[in-house]
Structure 1
Amino acid sequence: MTTNEMTGGEALARMLQAFEIGPMFGMGGFQLLPFYDAARRLGLKHYLINDERCGAFAADAYAKVTGRVGVVDATLGPGATNLVTALVESLNAGIPIVALIGDSHRMHSWKNMTQESRQLDILRPAVKEVLRVEYIERIPELVRRAFAVATSGRPGPVVLDVPEDICHGTYGFDEEEFVVDPIHRAAPALRSRPDATALDTAVDMLASAERPLMLCGGGVHISRAADSVTAFAEATNMPVAHTMSGKGAIACTHPLSAGLFGRYDRIANKLIEEADVLFVVGCKLGEIATKRYTVPPKGKTVIHLDIVAEEMGRTLMPALSLWGDAKATLDELRVALGKRGLKDKLADWAADVPKRMAAWRQDVDGRLNDESSPINMARLLNELNKALPADATLVADGGFAAHWGGLVYDTKQAGRGFVPDRGFASIGYGVPGGIGATLGARHDGLGPVVALTGDGGFNMVLGELETARRLGLAFTVIVVNNAASGYVKALQHLMYGEGNYQSSDLAETNYAEVVSAFGCQGIRVETPDEIAPALAKALAETGRPTVLDVVVTRDPAKMLPAVDNRTVQVKKGDRVA
């Protein structure tokens, strides 16, 4: 048995190396300096970011794209507390993250140490679990625990808190202590199936249905189950609708795709009304997905499959609850239903879906191909549909960037080709999300990454363009430039009428000029016919980010993709899609 004397920081780095982590994002401080030094010597891919929240967003997007654990670090106090917003995104979205946090020297704690705070009290509600290292010899054990918790059940973020004296101290570790279980390098680490009797009941309910419909949420992607959803749908002829997070559960171009449901929809809400059984898979049925708890209408028969038992019955009472992993359960149900003749039985129901979708496209064609300037958002998304290959990834910032993308953008293959920050819907995800998604796409051999963000969200995180440029990442950022906090201004317009706006306007800014100072390629897009060539130029760039500054409508009546169901109804002619 070989014993090596090393710092706690090196032990941390050795454990991360054993888990074969991908890129790690962080901003150093004195507490974690031995870890940084070991990361350098061991060759870990650690990238300096300019804001800790953005580092955690980048780790989140990397994990969403790859399924691997995203890793971020932060130093004592403000570094740690800056992570909160991004960690809540990962917690709510079920994304595996390990956050390494420096803490004060235990001999000096609570003696007015610089930057000291009750950081664990602040972080605890934002994560799945907080682990504090009180003894240096427990570092390997607790790192293993962090990865196990992050990747098991419903995945989520875990904080590993390391006091300064633990990180700087030394201990003689045995080599065998740096051995890990490889199943915890990615999520889901373990899969479970529902009770056998419940599965039999589900088979009977679905086999007896005349118009069943699947409603898929982000849990499908957490389970890496998109191919299983597609196989299940094709084997049964069951149409599939999705939430914003669930986009890609089946390709949007698939004839069984009913598109987005909930607050914004194409044809799905009508299909939900007509369905006799709703099969909800990996979906929390929150406010947006249920159109503020009005979809589905009362009285519908619902089967709810989820890895988190507590989600079932939270917003509606299902007729049957299935507690288990989406992929494992769908594969089992598909085999069982294959013997029940459902595919032939549902042939007419399935054949009606592409007809309705074609009618929707014809109805909104004038907007999808709108020639007016400033640019219509529907036209912008339609140009993205034309330009992006099947293996592209579209990252969508919070606000209406995600809503427009969820409604109009078409994934061309199953999988998480659409990455919105819907766990917390925080503004500012676009650029750091583009960084993480680009590194994830590079790891998985995927195609180009485009990040869609509003000008308000872009203003928050401009500094991360320096990070992306320094790393030589060639992805495209589309800034939806409406010189406003668009979602807020649109809601003020709906509720209080034209001209009654408060604190929702931004200064007119040419972002193409701004980003050139960061060494990025900037292209101003002011007319619809400029979109396609600008996208082509952006996608051809190989060594740096490109920012498309797209000037869209300033009319708040045309900013939302459809009626926002709050207190005001808009006449049908105002609907965009």
Structure 2
Amino acid sequence: MSPKVTEVDGRELKVENQEMTGSSMLIQALARENVDVIFGYPGGAILPTYDEIYRTGIRHILARHEQGAVHAAEGYARVSGKAGVCVVTSGPGATNVVTGLADAMIDSLPMVVITGQVATSVIGTDAFQEADVVGVTMPVTKHNFQVREVEELPRVIKEAFHIATTGRPGPVLIDLPKDVSVASGFFNYDQDVDLPGYQPTVVPNKLQIKKLAEAVTKAKKPVLLVGAGVLHSKASKELLDYVEQQQIPVTSTLLGLGAFPGSHKLHLGMAGMHGTYTANMALHEADLLINVGARFDDRLTGNLKHFAPEAVVAHIDIDPAEIGKNVETAIPVVGDAKEALRMLVEVDGRPSACDEWKEQVQQWAAEYPLWYNEDDTTLKPQRLVEMIYEETGGEAVVTTDVGQHQMWAAQFYKFDKPNRWVTSGGLGTMGFGFPSAIGAQFAEPDKQVVAVLGDAGFQMTAQEMSILQELNLPVKIILVNNASLGMVRQWQQLFYEERYSNSLFPIQPDFVKMAEAYNIKGWKVENPNDMQQTLKEALDYNGPVLVDCRVAKEENVYPMIAPGSGHHEMEGIKP
């Protein structure tokens, strides 16, 4: 077979069917998968790969901790829609990415993570920096591989990217022993992916689509529940087309925000534990609930005994395991959200009479909006998020950690476009928000990226400020600083008789000096009257910034569905 030269993005790559090392194969394969950036951290077992990175010049971002690298890859994946790539070494390097793998798995993010491993001859001997990475990560990856022969490597990499990015996206891990990375073999990347046991259903069954359309025609109180599956399938246009054709009210999950325009007249807001009164009551009183790409997780449903008690439930999802898992489903539709919505638009089964229903949800929205008590002397976190929205025109990519600040950002920042909202949903990972903002900035270098962070979560991965310093990356860090583990404190106040066990921070670092130590511009704001101008300066600043916003310490997130309660039992609705 004659050799063939391949070119990617103007770069001439090594010829096909040429003999090369495993590490060279890996880098060549990443180039063929159009990988433009890798996040990682080197170490002994992965050094041959890092030597190849040095020699080929592929772009690599050196994190200061493996957790930072994997969360950056997640942020890149969330915003770009492409697979995020992370490379780390064996043992502790590999175990340090497990949290990110679990986070990506539950939130369906496409990732390919390459871990170095000790030589095959000493696997199982408790060699230096050895860990059973395949065993450790099996529950938190969509699939994983350990490569034992160098000529398997091109096939494994191609399969890894295919599995990570098709069907329900997810993380795939490749464990690469050091001896395999230095061994030589023939590189062939032209082979087709052949996985008989992995054939995701993309096009839904036409009869199920027809059944759903007929149910819509009969419905008096239909509502759409939109999840991240719409974003993963790039189906925002199809969703908007369907909603405007059918005139059905829409609610979003936390991770579905941005799939449907947040300012649209038919958008009722986020549903769930801290969702809007309108969205939650719409779910409670609906007679038809159409779930498009959401998981029916517990923070969305509340007490399942009270969830959508009057509704016929239809569920569109590419992962059949999710359908009927938590909520009994009358109309299952297995397939890609884009295809399902396109087919539904073609069928056009409009609701026969739901004008009264739309009037009802609009009345709820008018009577029970999101609210907070404004105060001239203290900075309210809700108002802070509103100001960020106003100053960015709703155009920013917003990332968060998990907790109160996350919920306030979800409630008060209206996401009108897809892939602008980056947060940790299912796993609720503190430390996610800042490094994910770094990955998001690489995915969209020309967009403004704002990391809205809690003071606690930020301190878990604050060392990644080195990347901002090194590359002058213009990420804007906005600390919602209430000197506590905010959501923990709120639960202790409401459910533990105000016993604040280890949730308050009597002493904090000087975050402005901390930023300045990394040569990053910093501001501290306590007076609410100074916030707007400071925020404007920070967002206009040409480079990375940190703004330490000292917000009201005892502010709580409302509305709230208490544990064990249903959507109709919300607390803290507008008085």
TM over 0.5: yes
SS at match of 2:385: helix
- Name 1:357's counterpart in structure 2: 365
After superposition, the Cα gap between the structure-2 partners of 1:31 and 1:12, relative to the gap in structure 1 and judged at 3 Å, is: same
Runs of 4+ in 1 over 6 A off after TM superposition: none
Residue equivalent to 2:326: 315
Would the alpha carbon gap of residues 572 and 64 (structure 1) be closer, same or farther in structure 2, given more than 3 Å must change?
Answer: closer
* Separation of aligned partners in 1, 2:350 and 2:227: 27
For 1:206 and 1:305, how far apart are their aligned partners in 2? 14
Distance in structure 2 (CA, Å) of the matches to 1:123 and 1:454:
29
Q: 1:378 to 1:575 in 2, by over 3 A?
A: farther
Give 1:501 deviation, angstroms.
1.3
| One-letter amino acid of the structure 1 residue matched with residue 547 of structure 2 | L
- Looking at structure 2, the residues matched to 292 and 576 of structure 1 have their Cα atoms a distance apart, in angstroms, of 22
Structure 1 residue matching 2:465: 3-state secondary structure: helix
Contact 2:404–2:487 (Cα < 8 Å) also in 1: yes
Counterpart Cα distance in 2 of 1:38 and 1:318: 51
CA distance in 2, matches of 1:290, 1:573: 15
Question: d(CA) in 2 for partners of 1:349 and 1:292?
Answer: 24
Q: Does 1:529 align with 2:529?
A: yes
**Residue deviations 1:379-404 (CA, integer Å, cap 9, x gap):** 11211221123431111211222222
Select 1:242's aligned residue among 248, 252, 256.
252
User: How far is the alpha carbon of 1:564 from its aligned partner?
Assistant: 4.7
User: How far did 1:316 drift?
Assistant: 1.3
Does the alignment pair 1:501 with 2:509? no
Q: 1:138: which partner in 2? A: 152
Secondary structure of the 1:460 match is: coil
Secondary structure of the residue aligned to 1:98 is: strand
Partners of 1:384 and 1:105 in 2: CA distance: 51
- Please tell me whether the aligned partners of residues 227 and 415 of structure 1 are also in contact (alpha carbons under 8 angstroms): no
- Name the structure 1 match of 2:553: 554
Q: Mark the CA change 1:437 to 1:483 in structure 2 (over 3 Å): closer, same or farther.
A: same
Query: Is residue 456 of structure 1 aligned with residue 456 of structure 2?
Result: yes
Q: Confirm or deny: 8 A CA contact 1:521 1:547 kept in the other structure.
A: yes
Aligned to 1:383: 387
The alignment status of 1:108 with 2:93, answered yes or no, reads: no
Is this contact kept in 2: 1:9–1:33, CA < 8 A?
A: no
Cα separation, 2, equivalents of 1:180 and 1:259: 46
Distance 1:198 1:282 in 2: 16
Q: How does 1:95-494 map to 2 (within 5 A)?
A: 95-171=109-185, 173-174=186-187, 177-179=188-190, 192-266=202-276, 267-293=278-304, 296-337=307-348, 340-342=349-351, 345-347=353-355, 349-350=357-358, 353-354=361-362, 356-361=364-369, 364=371, 367=373, 370-411=374-415, 413-442=416-445, 445=446, 447-494=447-494
For the 8 Å contact 1:256–1:353, the answer to whether it is kept is no
Offset from partner CA, 1:347-400 (integer Å, 9 cap, x none): 554455455434444x72x53xx2344321211121122112343111121122
Map 1:76-91; keep pairs closer than 5 Å.
76-91=90-105
Q: Which amino acid aligns with 2:282?
A: L
User: Residue 566 of structure 1 aligns to which amino acid in structure 2?
Assistant: P
Residue identity in the other structure for 1:286: D
The two structures, once aligned, show a CA RMSD in angstroms of 2.4
Q: C-alpha separation between the residues in 1 aligned to 2:224 and 2:297? A: 16
**Structure 2: stretches of 5+ with no match in the other structure:** 4-16
1:529: how far off? 2.3
Residues 169, 373 of structure 1: CA spacing in aligned structure 2 closer, same or farther, 3 A cutoff?
A: farther
CA distance in 1, matches of 2:90, 2:318: 34
Unpaired segments ≥5 residues, structure 1: none
User: Shift of the alpha carbon at 1:277?
Assistant: 0.7
Instruction: Measure the CA separation in 2 of the matches of 1:524 and 1:477.
Output: 12
What is the alpha-carbon distance in structure 1 between the residues aligned to residue 344 and residue 395 of structure 2?
28
Q: Is the 8 Å Cα contact of residues 152 and 190 (structure 1) preserved in structure 2? A: yes
Q: Which residue identity lines up with residue 40 of structure 1 in the other structure?
A: Y
Q: Which deviations, in whole Å up to 9, do the C-alpha atoms of 1:199-249 show, x marking residues without a partner?
A: 111110011112210011111111111222111111110111011101112
Output the TM-score relative to the length of structure 1.
0.91
Report whether the alignment pairs 1:541 with 2:541: yes
SS of 2:19's equivalent in the other structure is strand
Q: Give the % identical residues.
A: 28
SS class of match (2:120): coil
The size of the alignment, in residue pairs, is: 553
Deviations 1:319-364 (A, max 9, x none): 1111111111011101211xx454x844554455455434444x72
